[in-house]
Amino acid sequence: MALRPKNPAPRPAPRLYLMTPPVADPSTFLDQLASALDAGDVAAVLLRLAEADERTLINRVKALAPAVQDKGAALLLDGRADLVARGGADGAHLSGIASFTAALETLKPERIAGTGGLASRHDAMLAAEQGSDYVMFGEPDPTGKCPAFAAIEDRIGWWAEVFEIPCVGYSESLETISPLVVAGADFVALGDAAWLEPDSIAETIREAGRHLRLPEPAT
């Protein structure tokens, strides 16, 4: 696990990490996805798949992967490391240490393995030690509840100060993007807030990009 050096180089500018709604029909989602990718600097898209049989899931991934990858973004699957290679995705996001550990052999070293659902600092450090490409803080639990925002800021600030491995901060709304950037998030994950207004997705992503910019220092 790489620690931050005493005099580290500045971190790259933070980027967006989009989390899709559960996708059942790729053909109806492609236009929304394209609007989002055209409107901002999106580093990765986490594809959440509605339940279906395995072959249907793989076909959904195949239908959406080129739209993401052709824009220079990575397509990650939510929890389905077993479908990554067959669907042509770039990696997977796993929730919890047990799921992450179980998926390592399937994903590494060729593909991205990210970790969320980290209940403690110890869990985050353990994920990093085991080779996680990033850690995510603040995303909703299975019931849809997020941690207190102050706790997310604190966890991101601690991580950014101590560790080199990138961290993703989950933002419930556009208004909470800037505080996560100030705290030190390398990426900001935007979920349902990105897709609430299907006719305004591009403007939502552009606005999110504006919130990603660090405030100018006072003179």
Domains of the chain: 15-79+134-200 (3.20.20.390)
Mean pLDDT of 70-89: 97
Nearest CA among 76, 32, 80, 84 for reference residue 52? 80
Asked whether 50 and 18 are in contact (CB, 8 A), the reply is: no
Q: Which residues contact 37 (CB under 8 A, 6 or more apart)?
A: 45, 67, 68, 71, 73
- The residue type of 157 is G
pLDDT for the residue 11: 72
77 token code pair: 């699957």
Q: DSSP code of 3?
A: B
Q: How far apart are CA 49 and CA 20, in angstroms?
A: 9
pLDDT in tens, 9-46: 677 789 999 999 999 999 999 999 999 999 999 999 99
Question: Are the C-beta atoms of residues 159 and 184 closer than 8 Å to each other?
Answer: yes
Task: Give the pLDDT mean for 54-70.
Answer: 97
Element (H, E) at 181: helix 177-183
- Once rounded to an integer, what is the mean pLDDT over residues 102-111? 93
> pLDDT-derived band of residue 6, with 50, 70 and 90 as boundaries?
low
pTM attached to this predicted model: 0.93
Confidence of residue 2 (pLDDT cuts 50, 70, 90): low
Please tell me the distance from the alpha carbon of residue 119 to that of residue 121, in angstroms, as a whole number: 7
